[in-house]
Amino acid sequence: MKRLAKTFPLLALPVLLASCEKEITVDLPDTPERLVVEGTIEPGRPPFIILTRTQSYFAPTDVNTIASIFVGGATVVVTDNGVPHTLQQICSGDLTEEEIQQAAALTGLDPALLSSANICIYTSTDAATFGVAGHTYRLDISAEGKTLSSTTSIPQPVPLDSVWFKLAEQRPNDDTLGYAWARLTDPDTMGNSYRWMARRISHRANGETEDPTFISPLGTTFNDKYINGLTFDFNAIRGRQFYSDQPEDQNDEAGFFKVGDTIAVKFLSIGRKEYDFYTTYDNNVGSTGDIFSTPANVKTNIDGGLGIWAGRGVYMDTIICR
Amino acid sequence: MPGYFWRRFRTDMHLRLPLSGLALLFACALHAQDRFTVSGYVNDSTSGEALIGASVFVQEIQKGVPTNTYGFYSVTLEAGTYTFVVRYIGYADLQRTVVLNADRKLNLLLRPTVTEMKSVEVVGEKRVSNTESTAMGRMDVDVQKLQTLPALLGEVDILKTIQYLPGVKSNGEGNSGFYVRGGGPDQNLILLDEATVYNASHLFGFFSVFNADAVKNIELIKGGMPANYGGRTASVLDITMKEGNSKEFHGQGGIGLISSRLTLEGPIVKEKSSFIVSARRTYIDVLTKPLINKDSQFAGSGYYFYDINAKANYRLSDKDRFFLSGYFGRDVFTLKGNEPGSPDFNIPWGNATVSGRWNHVFGPKLFMNTTATFSDYKFRFDGGQDEFKFKLFSGIKDYGLKVDLSQYPNVRHSLKYGAQLIRHIYTPSTVDVSSGDTEFNIDTPSKLNANELAVYAMDEFDITDQLRMTAGVRLSAFAHIGSFREYLLDDEGNATGTRDYGAGSTVKAYQGLEPRLALRYRLDNTSSLKASYNRNLQYVHLASFSSIGLPTDVWIPSGKNVKPQVGTQYAAGYFRDFADHLFETSVEVYYKDMENLIEYAEGAQPQDNGNTNYDAQLVFGNGYSYGAELFIKKRTGKLTGWVGYTWSKTMRKFPDINDGKEFPSRWDRRNDLSVVASYELNKRWTFGATFVYSTGQATTLPVQRYWIEQRLVSQFSERNGFRMAPYHRLDLAATLLNKETKRKKDPVTGEVTEVPRKYRSSWTFAVYNAYNRSNPYFIYFDTEGSIGNGDLRVVAKQVSLFSVIPSVTWNFHF
Interface contact A298-B710, CB threshold 8 A: no
In-domain check, residue A4: no
> Where does a domain end: A134, A153, A172?
A153
- Tell me what the mean pLDDT of segment B773-784 comes to: 83
Residues A211 and A256 placed together within one structural domain of the fold: yes
Question: What does the pLDDT read at residue B21?
Answer: 42
Interface contact B704-A225, CB threshold 8 A: no
Query: What share of chain B in percent tops pLDDT 70?
Result: 88
Extended strands (E) in B194-258: 195-196, 201-202, 207-208, 215-221, 235-241, 250-255
* Residue to substitute from B347, B704, B775, interface A, most A β-carbons within 10 A: B704
Torsion of CA B198, B203, B204, B210, to 10 degrees: -40
Range(s) of the domain holding residue A262? 157-297+313-320
Residues A205 and A127 placed together within one structural domain of the fold: no
Element housing B15 (H / E): helix B3-30
Residues A119 and A244 placed together within one structural domain of the fold: no
Question: What does the pLDDT read at residue B24?
Answer: 42
pLDDT tens track for B474-533: 999 999 998 888 888 887 777 788 899 988 899 999 999 999 999 999 898 888 999 999
- Give the residue, B647 or B602, on which the prediction is more confident: B647
Residue B298 has pLDDT above 70, yes or no: no
Residue in B438, B600, B708 nearest the CB of A232: B438
How far B778 CA lies from chain A's nearest CA (Å)? Answer: 7
Rounded-to-integer distance, Cα B610 and Cα B606, Å: 8
Residues B59 and B173 placed together within one structural domain of the fold: no
Residues A210 and A264 placed together within one structural domain of the fold: yes
Residue of A nearest to B782 (CA): A288
Rounded-to-integer distance, Cα B532 and Cα B590, Å: 9
Q: How far apart are the first and last CA of chain A?
A: 28
Question: What does the pLDDT read at residue A293?
Answer: 67
Residues A133 and A50 placed together within one structural domain of the fold: yes
In-domain check, residue A247: yes
> Where does a domain end: B93, B110, B127?
B110
CATH number for the domain harbouring residue A83: 2.60.40
Look at chain B and report how many structural domains it folds into. Answer: 2
Residues A164 and A283 placed together within one structural domain of the fold: yes
Interface contact A289-B610, CB threshold 8 A: no
User: Mean pLDDT for chain A?
Assistant: 87
Interface contact A21-B433, CB threshold 8 A: no
Q: Are strands A35-41 and A306-311 parallel, antiparallel or unpaired?
A: parallel
How far A320 CA lies from chain B's nearest CA (Å)? Answer: 20
- Give the residue, B338 or B202, on which the prediction is more confident: B202
Residue B88 has pLDDT above 50, yes or no: yes
Question: What does the pLDDT read at residue B142?
Answer: 66
- Tell me what the mean pLDDT of segment B215-235 comes to: 88
B526 with B495: CB under 8 angstroms?
Answer: no
User: Mean pLDDT for chain B?
Assistant: 83
**Residue of A56, A30, A27, A294 lying closest to B723 (CA atoms):** A27
- Rg of chain B taking only CA atoms, in angstroms: 28
Contacts of A221 in chain B (CB under 8 A): none
Q: Model confidence at B337, in pLDDT bands (50, 70, 90)?
A: low
In-domain check, residue B790: no
B345 with A8: CB under 8 angstroms?
Answer: yes
In-domain check, residue B21: no
Chain B interface includes A173 (CB < 8 A):
no
Question: What does the pLDDT read at residue B790?
Answer: 64
Chain B interface includes A13 (CB < 8 A):
yes
Residues B49 and B194 placed together within one structural domain of the fold: no
Q: Model confidence at B13, in pLDDT bands (50, 70, 90)?
A: very low
**Residue of B56, B358, B323, B375 lying closest to B192 (CA atoms):** B375
Chain B interface includes A27 (CB < 8 A):
no
Residues B287 and B398 placed together within one structural domain of the fold: yes
Residue A231 has pLDDT above 70, yes or no: yes
Q: Model confidence at B362, in pLDDT bands (50, 70, 90)?
A: confident
A199 with A211: CB under 8 angstroms?
Answer: yes
Interface contact B303-A34, CB threshold 8 A: no
Residues A272 and A177 placed together within one structural domain of the fold: yes
Least confident range of A52-56, A189-193, A290-294, B725-729: A290-294
Q: Model confidence at B553, in pLDDT bands (50, 70, 90)?
A: confident
Interface contact B603-A297, CB threshold 8 A: yes
pLDDT tens track for B600-626: 888 777 777 777 888 888 999 999 999
- Tell me what the mean pLDDT of segment B395-402 comes to: 94
Range(s) of the domain holding residue B51? 31-110
Residue B20 has pLDDT above 60, yes or no: no
Residue A5 has pLDDT above 50, yes or no: no
Longest dimension (CA), chain B: 98
Rounded-to-integer distance, Cα B734 and Cα B689, Å: 9
DSSP state letter for B563: P
CB count, 10 Å around CB of B103? Answer: 15
pLDDT tens track for A172-190: 778 899 999 999 999 998 8
Q: Model confidence at B568, in pLDDT bands (50, 70, 90)?
A: very high
Query: A residues 104-163 near B, CB within 8 Å?
Result: 108-110, 112-113, 116
Residues B103 and B180 placed together within one structural domain of the fold: no
* Residue to substitute from A65, A242, A268, interface B, most B β-carbons within 10 A: A242
Interface contact B794-A298, CB threshold 8 A: no
Residues A185 and A115 placed together within one structural domain of the fold: no
How far B298 CA lies from chain A's nearest CA (Å)? Answer: 7
A-B contacts at Cβ under 8 angstroms: 282
Residues A291 and A166 placed together within one structural domain of the fold: yes
Handedness of CA B620, B626, B632, B636 (dihedral sign): positive
SS3 for B402-433, per residue?
EEEEEEEEECCEEEEEEEEEEEEEEEEEEEEE
Interface contact A36-B708, CB threshold 8 A: yes
* B732 to B154, B169, B172, B198, B279: CA distances (angstroms): 11, 21, 19, 32, 27
* Residue to substitute from B720, B787, B792, B795, interface A, most A β-carbons within 10 A: B787
pLDDT tens track for B64-73: 888 888 889 9
3-class SS shares of chain B: helix, strand, coil, % to 5: 10, 55, 35
Question: What does the pLDDT read at residue B569?
Answer: 94
CATH number for the domain harbouring residue B685: 2.40.170.20
Chain B interface includes A240 (CB < 8 A):
no
The phi, psi pair for B445, rounded to 5°, reads -65, 140
Residues A142 and A163 placed together within one structural domain of the fold: no
Interface contact B602-A297, CB threshold 8 A: yes
Q: Where are the alpha helices (DSSP H) in chain A?
A: 2-16, 63-67, 97-107, 111-116, 272-286
> Where does a domain end: B60, B94, B110?
B110
Residue in A20, A24, A280 nearest the CB of B603: A280
B194 with B231: CB under 8 angstroms?
Answer: no
Query: What share of chain B in percent tops pLDDT 90?
Result: 30
Query: What share of chain A in percent tops pLDDT 70?
Result: 92
Chain B interface includes A183 (CB < 8 A):
no
B280 with B307: CB under 8 angstroms?
Answer: yes
In-domain check, residue B616: yes
Residues A215 and A198 placed together within one structural domain of the fold: yes
Residues B92 and B145 placed together within one structural domain of the fold: no
Residue of A nearest to B600 (CA): A294
- Tell me what the mean pLDDT of segment B78-83 comes to: 88
How far B810 CA lies from chain A's nearest CA (Å)? Answer: 22
pLDDT tens track for A126-163: 999 999 999 999 999 999 999 999 999 999 999 999 99
> Where does a domain end: A102, A136, A153?
A153
Chain B interface includes A198 (CB < 8 A):
no
Question: What does the pLDDT read at residue B55?
Answer: 85
Least confident range of B132-141, B351-360, B742-751, B795-804: B132-141
Chain B interface includes A254 (CB < 8 A):
yes
B31 contacts: CB under 8 Å, gap ≥ 6? B409, B410
Chain B interface includes A40 (CB < 8 A):
no
ipTM given for this complex: 0.92
- The winner for highest mean pLDDT among A135-149, A276-290, B255-269 is A135-149
B198 with B555: CB under 8 angstroms?
Answer: yes
Interface contact A55-B706, CB threshold 8 A: yes
Interface contact B702-A57, CB threshold 8 A: yes
Whether the bond into A142 is cis, omega within 30 of 0? no
Interface contact A5-B606, CB threshold 8 A: yes
Interface contact B603-A53, CB threshold 8 A: no
Q: How far apart are the first and last CA of chain B?
A: 57
- Give the residue, B335 or B43, on which the prediction is more confident: B43
In-domain check, residue A139: yes
- Tell me what the mean pLDDT of segment B774-792 comes to: 75
A96 contacts: CB under 8 Å, gap ≥ 6? none
**Residue of B646, B634, B697 lying closest to B673 (CA atoms):** B646
- The winner for highest mean pLDDT among A231-245, B325-339, B619-633 is B619-633
CATH number for the domain harbouring residue B48: 2.60.40.1120
Residue B19 has pLDDT above 60, yes or no: no
Q: In a 3-state reduction of DSSP, which class is residue B284?
A: helix
Angle at B264 (CA atoms; ends B263, B270), nearest 5 degrees:
150
Rounded-to-integer distance, Cα B783 and Cα B403, Å: 60
Torsion of CA B73, B74, B80, B85, to 10 degrees: -20
Look at chain A and report how many structural domains it folds into. Answer: 2
In-domain check, residue B426: yes
Residues B285 and B187 placed together within one structural domain of the fold: yes
Residues B150 and B89 placed together within one structural domain of the fold: no
Q: Within 13 Å of residue A91, how many CA atoms lie on the same side as its CB? A: 12
- Rg of chain A taking only CA atoms, in angstroms: 20
Looking at chain A, how many residues does it have? Answer: 322
How far B603 CA lies from chain A's nearest CA (Å)? Answer: 5
Rounded-to-integer distance, Cα B103 and Cα B91, Å: 27
In-domain check, residue B736: no
Question: What does the pLDDT read at residue B22?
Answer: 41
- Tell me what the mean pLDDT of segment B130-156 comes to: 73
Residue A25 has pLDDT above 50, yes or no: yes
Residue in A52, A235, A242 nearest the CB of B706: A52
How far A38 CA lies from chain B's nearest CA (Å)? Answer: 6
Residues B484 and B534 placed together within one structural domain of the fold: yes
Q: Model confidence at B338, in pLDDT bands (50, 70, 90)?
A: low
Residues A219 and A289 placed together within one structural domain of the fold: yes
pLDDT tens track for A112-131: 888 888 888 999 999 999 99
Query: A residues 255-314 near B, CB within 8 Å?
Result: 255-256, 272, 279-281, 283-285, 288-299, 306-308
Question: What does the pLDDT read at residue A214?
Answer: 92
CATH number for the domain harbouring residue A203: 2.60.40.10
Residue B134 has pLDDT above 80, yes or no: no
Residue in A20, A112, A237 nearest the CB of B341: A237
**Residue of B807, B720, B696 lying closest to B173 (CA atoms):** B696
Q: Are strands B35-44 and B108-110 parallel, antiparallel or unpaired?
A: parallel
Residue A269 has pLDDT above 80, yes or no: yes
B710 contacts: CB under 8 Å, gap ≥ 6? A108, A109, A110, A241, A242, A243
Q: In a 3-state reduction of DSSP, which class is residue A99?
A: helix
